[in-house]
């Protein structure tokens, strides 16, 4: 589990296709303070497992499913990525809870610099727009952000300068794809309500 507070930007330095999967090597600095083989790490919001560590490079396998459903399938050597180690019990939790399980890739449909803040728009596939409400949380490339507004099938997010400077979101261009994880609390509430509406409760069941 993650918080969406990015620790640093890493760089993809290796990528090796193996059948329907790929192994990537990512160079970083801060995350190596206590990173070990077998640890979970968020790479642009995707939960991966650290399989090997060599100096300041860690290696992870991107599964076939992950390659299909996230931007990591098309990632190239030289790309900068957002990194966050898994949460520890007892730590302060900024941001919001993220599982590292991407719901969909959205398209950056607008970007505006307002000097003291930035505004971005993300195009959301129609089946997923129901999981967004004003002021809900959202994970975009692993960054914990807040949805300021919703218009049609787009969400609007405001960014502070710190986030732009310390994550890869400021490097994105209109038309780029981003990994999106919906707010698990909102999603659970909506899925639960939908289930209850579609299924009658068995009143004779013994609980």
Average pLDDT over the chain reads 92
Q: How far apart are the first and last CA of the chain?
A: 31
What's the rounded mean pLDDT across residues 43-63?
97
Residue in the block written with tokens 């950056």:
108
Q: Please tell me which residue, 189 or 24, carries the higher pLDDT value.
A: 24
Distance CA 40, CA 84 (A): 9
Q: Are 188 and 114 found together in one domain?
A: yes
Q: Are 75 and 110 found together in one domain?
A: no
| pLDDT tens-digit readout, 70-126 | 999 999 999 999 999 999 888 888 889 999 999 999 999 999 987 778 999 999 999
CB atoms within 10 A of CB 88: 7
Give the distance, in angstroms, between the CA of residue 52 and the centroid of all CA atoms in the same chain. Answer: 22
Residue 194 has pLDDT above 80, yes or no: no
Name the domain count of the chain: 2
Residue 136 has pLDDT above 50, yes or no: yes
Task: Print the domain residue range for 70.
Answer: 8-85
The model's pTM is: 0.90
135 SS3 class: coil
Q: Are 108 and 189 found together in one domain?
A: yes
CB atoms within 10 A of CB 94: 9
**Residue 32 belongs to some domain of the structure:** yes
Residue 205 has pLDDT above 60, yes or no: no
**Residue 58 belongs to some domain of the structure:** yes
Q: Are 20 and 63 found together in one domain?
A: yes
Residue 202 has pLDDT above 70, yes or no: no
pLDDT tier at 207 (50, 70, 90 boundaries)? Answer: very low
Give the distance, in angstroms, between the CA of residue 10 and the centroid of all CA atoms in the same chain. Answer: 15
Q: Which two tokens stand for residue 84?
A: 């966050």
204 SS3 class: coil
CB atoms within 10 A of CB 79: 19
Q: Are 112 and 186 found together in one domain?
A: yes
Q: What pLDDT, on the 0 to 100 scale, is given for residue 191? A: 82
Instruction: Give yes or no for a contact between 81 and 41, defined as CB atoms under 8 angstroms apart.
Output: no
CATH number of the domain within which 188 lies? 2.40.30.20
Q: What pLDDT, on the 0 to 100 scale, is given for residue 117? A: 80
Instruction: Give yes or no for a contact between 94 and 162, defined as CB atoms under 8 angstroms apart.
Output: no
């Amino acid at each position: 589990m993650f918080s969406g507070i990015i620790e640093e930007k890493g760089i993809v330095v290796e990528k090796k296709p193996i059948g329907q999967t790929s192994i990537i090597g990512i160079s970083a600095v801060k995350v190596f303070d206590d990173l070990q083989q077998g640890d979970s790490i968020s790479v642009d919001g995707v939960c991966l497992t650290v399989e090997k560590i060599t100096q300041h490079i860690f290696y992870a396998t991107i599964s076939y499913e992950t390659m299909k459903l996230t931007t990591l399938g098309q990632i190239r050597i030289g790309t900068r990525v957002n990194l966050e180690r898994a949460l520890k019990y007892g730590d302060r939790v900024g941001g919001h809870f993220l599982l590292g399980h991407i719901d969909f890739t959205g398209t950056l449909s607008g970007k505006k610099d307002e000097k003291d803040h930035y505004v971005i728009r993300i195009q959301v596939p129609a089946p997923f727009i129901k999981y967004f409400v004003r002021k809900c949380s959202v994970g975009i490339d692993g960054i914990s952000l807040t949805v300021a507004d919703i218009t049609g099938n787009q969400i609007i997010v405001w960014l502070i300068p710190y986030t732009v400077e310390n994550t890869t979101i400021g490097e994105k261009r209109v038309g780029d794809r981003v990994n999106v994880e919906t707010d698990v609390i909102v999603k659970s509430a909506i899925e639960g309500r939908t289930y209850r509406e579609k299924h009658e409760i068995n009143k004779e069941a013994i609980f």
